[in-house]
Structure 1
């Protein structure tokens, strides 16, 4: 994620990470982080959000959206 932040010119503190708290939860990682970010107020209505996940075999997926 640090590499992605650097390449995109986004400050790393804008990334929401909960890996240290829960460990690698595999497919549940992205929805768990999204839920925690919303509940903590880090994501609010009208904000632009990018969700990205990486998996085994160099698989990846991402979506950009406006949170409503």
Structure 2
């Protein structure tokens, strides 16, 4: 997605490794606690796991 500014992407796998189903909630909590999420923000979540499982969604915070 070259048209999206890289600073808009948040990643935590470099700090925690693969935490399975907890990876996305951990990142959301980090973003919320550091003030990176504000009420009404649109958030796109994408994750992949073992066995090539994957999921994605769009939500309003």
TM-score, normalised with respect to structure 2? 0.85
- Structure 1 range deviating more: 36-45 or 11-20: 11-20
**Mind listing any 5+ residue stretches in structure 1 that lack a counterpart?**
none
TM-score, normalised with respect to structure 1? 0.77
**Aligned position for 1:54:** 48
Higher-helix-fraction structure:
1
**Mind listing any 5+ residue stretches in structure 2 that lack a counterpart?**
none
Aligned residues: 61
RMSD of equivalent CA atoms: 1.2
Secondary structure of 1:53's counterpart equals strand
